[in-house]
Chains A and B, each alone.
Chain A
Amino acid sequence: MKRIYVNEKWCLGCHLCEYYCAFANSGKDSMVKALKNVTINPRIRIEERGGISFAVSCRHCEEPLCTKSCITGALSVNDGVIQIDKDKCVGCYTCILTCPYGAIVPSETGAIQKCELCMNNSSGTPACVAGCPNKAIVFEEK
C-alpha cells in the first residue's frame, strides 16, 4: 500500500506541510481564505530541535492500536487507510492514549482528527507531500 514516508535528512523544518495539510482539510478554495488569521491545527506536525526536524503523521499501521482501541467504532480501516468518522467520535481520546507515534490530535470540535491521506478532501492526494519543497515527505509503495 502507498504510504507517507518521512526522511528527516531532507526536512527543512519549513512547516509548509502543516499549512498545506490545514488548507487541504479546510474545505476552502484558497489558502488565504482558509488560513488567514487562523491558528492552524494540522494533521501532520513537525518536531524540531537543534537542527533536526521531521514531520509526523499517521503511519496507517497494519495493526492499528487506535482502531482496535476506539470505543465508538469511529476509527476504521478502509483499503489500508485508517479513517475517522467524526460524527461518531465522542472525543474520549483513547486513540491518543494508544497511538505510539502521537499522530492523532483533537480537532476544534472535540472529536479527534488524523491524517487520512487526503482521501476525503478536495486535494485527493496527500497535500503535505505535494507541498514539501524538498521531497522529505513522499507518498509511495515500499
Chain B
Amino acid sequence: MAIDFLYPEYEIKRDRDKCICCRVCERQCANEAHWYDAELEMMMCDSAKCVNCHRCVSLCPTRALKIVKTDHTFKENANWTGEHIAEIYRQAGTGGVLLSSMGNPKKYPIYWDKMLINASQVTNPPIDPLREPMETKVFLGAKPGKVEFNSKGEIKNNLPPQLKLEVPIMFSAMSYGSISYNAHESLARAAKELGTFYNTGEGGLHEDFYKYGANTIVQVASGRFGVHKDYLNAGAAIEIKMGQGAKPGIGGHLPGIKVREDISRTRMIPEGSDAISPAPHHDIYSIEDLRQLVYSLKEASDYKKPVIVKIAAVHNVAAIASGIARGGADIIAIDGYRGGTGAAPTRIRDNVGIPIELALAAVDQRLREEGIRNNVSIVVGGSIRSSADVVKAIALGADAVYIATSALMALGCHLCRSCQKGNCNWGIATQRPELVRRLNPDIGYKRLVNLVTAWNHEIKEIMGGMGINSIESLRGNRLMLRGIGLTEKELSILGIKHAGE
C-alpha cells in the first residue's frame, strides 16, 4: 500500500462508558467513519473518513461522541504550516486542483467586527420596539428621481417594479443541484412565511416550486441552465449572475453525478452530464452588452419584474457597479469574498476578491457621488453572520442583505466544508435520496423562519437604541458606525469615523 502522508485533521472521540452501541452514528455517517464490530461488541471508527460534520455527535442519544482537532503536529514552523504541508502532500498524491466549499475560512480582517454601532443617550431618546412601531420593511428597485405628469396634467405612475421585503434579509442564490430539493423547499416556504425572497441560483426552478413564485428570484447565469420564458416569469425578480464571491472569475461546476433525473429536467441538460457554467457570459463583454441582457430580460418579463445584477466584490467593484446602475439594472447584488459555494478551487476561494464591507462602502459612495444611488438598490452578501452584521451593512449603505451560509446553518449545516463530496450528512448539499430525506422541510422551514424572525427582533432592538424607527433612516447612515482599530485608509474607504471621534 502506498504511504499515506496525511494524518486525520480531526479525531472521533467515543466515551466507551456512555456508548450503548445503538449504531446511530454508523447509520447516519455517509462517509462510513463508524462501524460496529460484532466480535468485539463495540463501535469502531476511522477518523480519516470523518469530515467533522457533527451528524453523529448530534444524534448520539447518550452524548458519547465528540470530534476534536488532532494534537498530532508537524514540527513547528511559522512559515510551513501544517495546512500548507498537508495540501502539498494531497496535491503531490493526486495531481489535482484542490477543491473546497463554503466560504473563505482564512484569517483575513473581518471589518464587521471592527465597527461599532451608536446608541442614543439623553439628547435623542431611544425607542422601545416593544412599545412603539418599528419599520423593517424594505422596497428594492429603482426609485424615480422626479414626478412626471401626462398631457392632462395628471401624475404619471413612473415607479419601476419593486420587491417588497417584510425584513431586510433575503436568501441568496443556491442552485437546485448544489443543494437538495428539501433545502429548496425549506427556503421557499420560509421566504413565503417571512414575506421575503429566496433565489433559485443558476439551476432553474423545479416544477414543484412554481407555486412559491411570488417569493422567488429566478437567476440567469452564464450556463443559462433551466432558463426559459415561463421560468423568467415565474419569479418576482430576475437576477443576472455575473460573479460569485467565493469564486470570482470562474463559473459554477456541478458534477454529473449530482445531475439526477429531477435536476436534469430542471436544468434542461442530459442526466449525468457535468453542468459547467462558463467563466464569462459569452454574450457579455461590456456594460453595453450587459445592458442588452438586462433589457432582453425586462422585455421577456414585460417590464414587470426588477432585474438584479449580481457581481463578486473585486478590486474595481465601484466602477463596475456604476456601469451596472447605468446599464439599467434595478438592483445590484454584491457578493463578498467570504461568500459560500458548493465547490470552488481552494486557491481561488481563499485568495480572490475583497471584503464585502469595503466593497459596499466603495459602491455606495461612488453611486452617491455620481448621483445615481437612487437608480438602484444595493443588496450585499458574503458572510452576514448576525443581525449586527445586517445593521452595519445597512448603515454602510445597503438596502438589504442576502444570507445563505447562515440559512444553511439554520437547516443543520455544521460548516464541515465538504459539500463538493456530495455526501452531506445533513441532507443539504447532496442529491443522494437517502441523505436528502434527512432534511424534513417541515422542520427546516420553521428553523429558517425562527432565525430570520429572531434577527429581525434584534435589528429593531438595535435600531431602537439608536433612536431610529425605520430601516430606511438607517440606510447609509454611517454616522451610526465607528471604526475600532482601523487605519486612516480603512476608515476613509468605509467612510466612518474612528471610535472616540
Residue numbers of A with Cβ under 8 A of B are: 9-16, 19-20, 23, 31-32, 35-38, 51, 131, 133-136
Contacts and interface: CB of A to CB of B under 8 A. Distances in A.
Given A10-B440, A12-B438, A14-B59, A35 B20 contact: yes
A14 B440 contact: no
17 contacts: A11-B437, A12-B27, A12-B437, A13-B27, A15-B24, A15-B27, A19-B22, A19-B24, A19-B61, A23-B61, A31-B61, A31-B62, A51-B434, A131-B61, A134-B437, A134-B438, A135-B442
Interface string B170-182: 0000000000000
Interface in B250-292: none
B18 interface: yes
B457 interface: no
B497 interface: no
A32 B22 contact: no
Contacts of B28: 12, 14
A11 to B, nearest CB: 8
Contacts, number: 53
Interface string B428-455: 0000011001101011000000000000
Chain A binding surface, main DSSP class: loop
Interface in B4-38: 17-18, 20, 22-24, 27-28
Interface in B317-349: none
The 6 A-B residue pairs with the shortest CB-CB distance, nearest first, are A35-B20, A10-B440, A134-B440, A19-B22, A14-B24, A135-B440
Interface in B410-433: 433
A16 B20 contact: no
B62 A32 contact: yes
Interface in B134-190: none
Contacts of A14: 24, 27-28, 59
A19 B25 CA distance: 13
A44 to B, nearest CB: 14
Given A131-B61, A135-B443, A16 B24 contact: yes
Nearest to A39: B21
Nearest to A30: B62
Contact of B20 (A11, A31, A135): A31
Contacts of A12: 27-28, 434, 437-438
Nearest to B20: A35
Contacts of B17: 32
A15 B61 contact: no
**Among B18, B20, B434: residue with most chain A CB under 10 A:** B20
Contacts of A9: 437
Contact of A16 (B22, B440, B443): B22
Contacts of B23: 15
Contacts of B443: 134-135
B180 to A, nearest CB: 14
Most chain A beta-carbon neighbours within 10 Å: one of B59, B62, B443: B62
A19 B59 contact: no
Nearest to A18: B22
B59 A36 contact: no
Nearest to A7: B440
A140 B17 CA distance: 36
Nearest to A31: B62
